[in-house]
Structure 1
Amino acid sequence: MIDYTNTTALITGGGSGIGKALAEALAARGAAVVLADVNAAGLEAVAAGIGANALPVVVDLAKPEAAAELIERAFTWRGRLDLVCSNAGIGHNKKIKNEPLGPETERLFAVNLFAAVRIAQAYLRVLEPSGARGRLMITGSENSLSAPAAVKGRGLGLYGASKHGVLIAAEWLRDESGDALDVHVLMPGAVYTPLISRGLPDPTKAPPQIGLIMPEQCAALALKGLDLGLFYIPTHAHIADDIRPRYEGVAAALKALGLR
């Protein structure tokens, strides 16, 4: 189990949902936490609940310069940055065939994908002078791996594309930066965050097939995955079943083409 005593962790999207749960779980295990979010009110409430070991930072990660400024501030606070949870993300429910690819879509990719890459780059830059090893967990999604059976038809194509981008970028980042950084990808299924609660005020009314869990359970699985040194950290068993059609489809195509 990782000892978080006297460590510093940065959690983006820390004002609610999975980010809030991660911050509270890390603080309970002894970490000082930097909480970043665009939602100032939510951020202040979470920080107040944690106390002196929390530093709230209001930031809009859609802005290209924001990631580097945030990493620098988080590192400067206590002179170290042991864990970065690049968790901030936004939802999007528009079918690809109807999507105008305007500012809303650009913000989707800016927050969900490009901010994670910029955070990783900035984190490596602050680690380099000291030679310290860092740990980065990026929040992807079950949509990083497939079109999950339980949510087909809901217009999550571009959201899924942004989260698939997170996964492949993290896989390459692990290949490129393994000497300086431990990289992990959290891949949640349905978690009761504000993205879901706005349309589902009562979580007990959730369709059973989506397997809705609470943020605290997601955070517990995330930290367990870090403790175990896992790169892929899924939260739902059905994720393996959802991947299978892609694997089987590629295998069938290889056979049809005479390549195996």
Structure 2
Amino acid sequence: MSRLDGRIVLITGAAGGIGSAVARTVVADGGEVILHDVNEDAVAALAHELGNAATTLTANLAEAKETEQLWADALALHGRIDVLVNNAGIYPPAPIDAHLEDWISVWDLSLAVNLKAPAILCKEAVKTYALQDRGGIIINLASRAAFRGEDPDYWHYAAAKAGVVAMTRTIARQNGRQGVTAFAIAPGYVDTSLNKVFAESVGVQAAADQTGLGEVAQPQDIANIIAFLATGLARHATGTTIDVNGASYVR
């Protein structure tokens, strides 16, 4: 028996580098995936690749009502969700010398997608898991930025990811007896399109030089850890944040 046989995993931002790696890994390990993304064509292509083990949903996570509906639609597909992977994220710049309205609009969008949407999905997951016979698992993508801080144009991202960590710890402490376990993953630089601006302006090697390994993480490095957590084998590690940054920031 594969480790994830029979498990239903909802992955947000599934068309991206980390999300697609998670989806492929879960399916290879026997699970079924519900693939969310705002890009309908990209997520459909991934589902076609994965075959009958994958279904797709689209929603704009900047909109609270659409996010809430995403959970309801996903739950209706199989009648249960065993694992929620809050992976979707955005990384828009907010230069400190921008006009206040422009600066705040980036903060509002970033917090909506990077913090409030995961919170809404966690809220719905906690309620659902309390009624499921095996409970359920929440895996939230945070960031090294939650602990180390981030570059000058990305205060909002660090703040949102710090909120994700605090939320995950709170869920683990307060909802464990309702069958909920919760984990956060805090990657450093991962070789995905989210880091395209840095890669093109500074270079991937600059990020690699900050690590103890001399290389940056690939999406599969994150997917391997998420797939393991999805098995339920790390139950007593609930509340943990797992750093995946090649020792570029050790705490």
1:62 correspondence with 2:57: no
**8 Å contact from structure 1 (residues 82, 135) kept in 2:** yes
Q: 1:36: which partner in 2?
A: 36
2:53 corresponds to 1:49: no
Q: Could you tell me how far 1:84 is from its partner in structure 2?
A: 0.5
Deviation at 1:128, TM superposition (A): 3.3
Question: Please, which of 122, 135, 138 is the counterpart of residue 137 of structure 2?
Answer: 135
> Aligned residue for 1:219?
223
Q: Which blocks of at least 5 consecutive residues in structure 2 are unaligned?
A: none
TM-score (norm 2): 0.85
C-alpha distance in structure 2 between counterparts of 1:74 and 1:212, whole Å: 33
Distance of 1:2 and 1:145 partners within structure 2: 35
Worse overlay, 72-81 or 223-232: 223-232
- 2:123 aligned residue: 121
The residue type paired with residue 123 of structure 2 is Q
Deviation at 1:216, TM superposition (A): 1.2
Distance 1:154 1:223 in 2: 33
1:193 match: 192
Paired position in structure 2 for 1:145: 147
Per the alignment, do residues 178 and 23 of structure 1 end up closer, same or farther by CA in structure 2, a change over 3 Å counting?
Answer: same
Structure 1 residue 2 displacement after superposition: 8.3
Q: Paired residue for 2:154?
A: 156
Aligned counterparts of 1:46 and 1:176: Cα–Cα separation in 2: 36
The question of 1:182 aligning with 2:181 is answered yes
Q: Secondary structure at the match of 1:137?
A: strand
Partner of 1:254: none
Paired residue for 1:24?
Answer: 24
Distance in 2 between residues matched to 1:98 and 1:63, nearest whole Å: 24
TM-score, length of structure 1 as denominator length: 0.82
Shift in alpha-carbon separation, 1:105–1:99, aligned structure 2, 3 A: farther
Residues 84-130 of structure 1, C-alpha deviations (whole Å, 9 max, x = no match): 10111101333446473433321100010011110011112223334
1:12 CA displacement: 0.2
> Per the alignment, in what secondary structure is the counterpart of residue 94 of structure 2?
coil
- How many Å separate the matches in 1 of 2:12 and 2:151? 29
Report the Cα distance in structure 2 between the residues aligned to 1:239 and 1:198, rounded to whole angstroms: 20
Question: Would you say the 8 A contact 2:25–2:224 is kept in 1?
Answer: yes
Q: Is the 8 A contact 2:146 2:161 kept in 1?
A: yes
User: Which residue number corresponds to residue 73 of structure 1?
Assistant: 73
Following the alignment from structure 1 to structure 2, what is the Cα–Cα distance between the partners of residues 103 and 228?
39
Aligned with 2:113 (options 111, 128, 138)? 111
1:85 maps to 85
Describe the superposition over 1:23-55 as per-residue Cα deviations: whole angstroms up to 9, x where unpaired: 111011111100001111211111111111111
Counterpart residue number, 1:102 = 104
Asked if 2 retains the 8 angstrom alpha-carbon contact of 1:113 and 1:165, the reply is yes
8 Å Cα contact 1:186-1:232 kept in structure 2: yes
Q: Is the 8 A contact 2:68 2:121 kept in 1?
A: yes
| 1:17 CA displacement | 1.2
> Is the contact between residue 216 and residue 246 of structure 2 (CA under 8 Å) also seen in structure 1?
no
Matched, 1:234 2:243: yes
Counterpart for residue 8 of structure 1: 8
Q: Is the 8 A contact 1:140 1:187 kept in 2?
A: yes
Q: What do residues 49-75 of structure 1 show as CA deviations (whole Å, max 9, x unaligned)?
A: 111111111111111112221112222
Q: CA RMSD in A?
A: 2.5
Task: Give, in angstroms, the shift of residue 240 of structure 1.
Answer: 4.6
CA contact (8 A) 2:148 2:249 kept: no
The more displaced of 88-97 and 10-19 is: 88-97
**Structure of larger gyration radius:** 1
Q: Distance in 1 between matches of 2:151 and 2:184?
A: 25
Aligned residues: 238
- State the percentage of identical aligned residues: 23
CA positional deviation for 1:15: 0.8
1:238 alignment partner, SS class: coil
Assess, with a 3 A threshold, how the Cα gap between structure 1 residues 99 and 21 changes in structure 2: closer, same or farther. Answer: farther
Aligned to 1:145, what secondary structure does the other structure show?
helix
